[in-house]
Amino acid sequence: MATATHIITEEEAASHPQAEAVVVRFAGDSGDGMQLTGGQFTLSTALAGNDLATFPDFPAEIRAPQGTTFGVSAFQINFGSTAIETAGDQPDVLIAMNPAALKVNVDQLREGGLIIADEGEFSARNLAKAGYEQNPLEDGSLAKWQLVHFNISQLTLDAVKPFGLGNKEALRCKNMWTLGLALWMFDRDRQPIVDWLNTKFAKAPELAEANIAALNAGHAYGETVEIGGVHRHHVAAAPAEPGLYRTVTGAESLALGLVAGAQLAGLKMFFGGYPITPASALLHHLSRLKEFGITTFQAEDEIAAICSAIGASYAGQLGITSSSGPGIALKTEALGLAIMTELPLVVVNSQRGGPSTGLPTKTEQSDLYQAVYGRNADAPLPVIAARSPADAFECAIEAVRIATRYMTPVMLLTDGYIANAAEPWRVPDMSGYEPFPVSFFDKAPAEGESVMPFARNGDLARPWIKPGTEGLEHRIGGIEKQPGTGNIDYSPGAHQQMTDTRAAKVNKVAESIPDQDVCLGNPGAKLAVVGWGSTFGPIHQAVRRAQGRGQDVAHVHIRHIWPMPKNMGELLKSFDKIIVPEMNTGQLKTVLRDQFLVDARPLNKVSGHPFRIAEIEAAIEEALA
pLDDT tens, 370-379? 999 999 999 9
Residue 21 has pLDDT above 50, yes or no: yes
User: How large is the average pLDDT for residues 76-102?
Assistant: 95
Note the helical H segments in 448-596.
492-508, 536-548, 568-573, 587-596
pLDDT at 4: 33
CB 612 within 8 A of CB 581: no
Give percent of the chain with pLDDT exceeding 70.
Answer: 96
Residue 277 has pLDDT above 70, yes or no: yes
451-456: long-range pairs with CB below 8 Å, 24+: 451/485, 452/484, 452/485, 452/486, 453/485, 453/486, 454/342, 454/481, 454/482, 454/483, 454/484, 454/485, 454/486, 455/484, 456/501, 456/505
User: How large is the average pLDDT for residues 456-471?
Assistant: 95
Q: Which of 220, 231, 229, 158 is nearest to 4 (CA)?
A: 220
Residue 16 has pLDDT above 60, yes or no: no
Note the helical H segments in 16-98.
34-47
CB 294 within 8 A of CB 247: no
pLDDT at 84: 92
User: How large is the average pLDDT for residues 459-486?
Assistant: 93
Residue 2 has pLDDT above 60, yes or no: no
At 304, is the secondary structure helix, strand, or coil?
A: helix
Q: How many CB atoms lie within 10 A of CB 10?
A: 7
User: How large is the average pLDDT for residues 290-311?
Assistant: 97
pLDDT at 11: 47
Residue 15 has pLDDT above 50, yes or no: no
CB 182 within 8 A of CB 175: no
DSSP-assigned letter for residue 75: E
d(CA 517, CA 468): 45
* pTM of the shown model: 0.92
pLDDT tens, 502-533? 999 999 999 999 999 999 999 999 999 999 99
pLDDT tens, 140-170? 999 999 999 999 999 999 999 999 899 999 9
pLDDT at 193: 96
Q: Phi first, then psi: what are they for 372, rounded to 5°? A: -80, -40
For the sheet containing 146-150, what is the strand order?
51-57, 72-80, 21-29, 93-96, 114-118, 146-150
pLDDT at 6: 33
pLDDT tens, 102-115? 999 999 999 999 99
- The residue type of 354 is G
Write out the H or E segment, with its range, that includes residue 213: helix 205-224
pLDDT at 19: 56
CB 269 within 8 A of CB 322: no
pLDDT at 228: 61
pLDDT at 230: 73
Higher-pLDDT residue of 31 and 23 is 23
At 455, is the secondary structure helix, strand, or coil?
A: coil
- The residue type of 184 is W
d(CA 591, CA 49): 41
- The residue type of 139 is D
Q: Which of 325, 226, 228, 252 is nearest to 42 (CA)?
A: 252
pLDDT at 46: 93
Residue 285 has pLDDT above 60, yes or no: yes
Among the ranges 16-25, 160-169, 259-268, which has the highest mean pLDDT value? 259-268
Residues in the chain: 625
Average pLDDT over all residues of the chain: 93
Higher-pLDDT residue of 176 and 10 is 176
CB 554 within 8 A of CB 529: yes
- pLDDT category at 226 given cuts 50, 70, 90 is low
Lowest mean pLDDT across 2-11, 163-172, 505-514, 549-558: 2-11
Q: Phi first, then psi: what are they for 8, rounded to 5°? A: -75, 125
Please confirm whether the linkage preceding 380 is cis (ω < 30° from 0).
no
**Number of DSSP helices (H) and strands (E) in the chain, helices first:** 21, 19
- pLDDT category at 229 given cuts 50, 70, 90 is low
- pLDDT category at 61 given cuts 50, 70, 90 is confident
Residue 3 has pLDDT above 70, yes or no: no
pLDDT tens, 314-366? 999 999 999 999 999 999 999 999 999 999 999 999 999 999 999 999 999 99
At 170, is the secondary structure helix, strand, or coil?
A: helix
- pLDDT category at 64 given cuts 50, 70, 90 is confident
pLDDT at 400: 98
- 12: CB partners within 8 A, 6+ apart: none
Q: Phi first, then psi: what are they for 464, rounded to 5°? A: -100, 115
Residue 557 has pLDDT above 70, yes or no: yes
At 143, is the secondary structure helix, strand, or coil?
A: coil
**What are the b/e assignments for 91-130, b being 16+ CB within 10 Å?**
bbbbbbbbbbbbbbbbebbbeebbbbbbbbbbeeebbebb
pLDDT at 5: 32
Q: How many CB atoms lie within 10 A of CB 427?
A: 12
d(CA 264, CA 253): 16
pLDDT at 20: 85
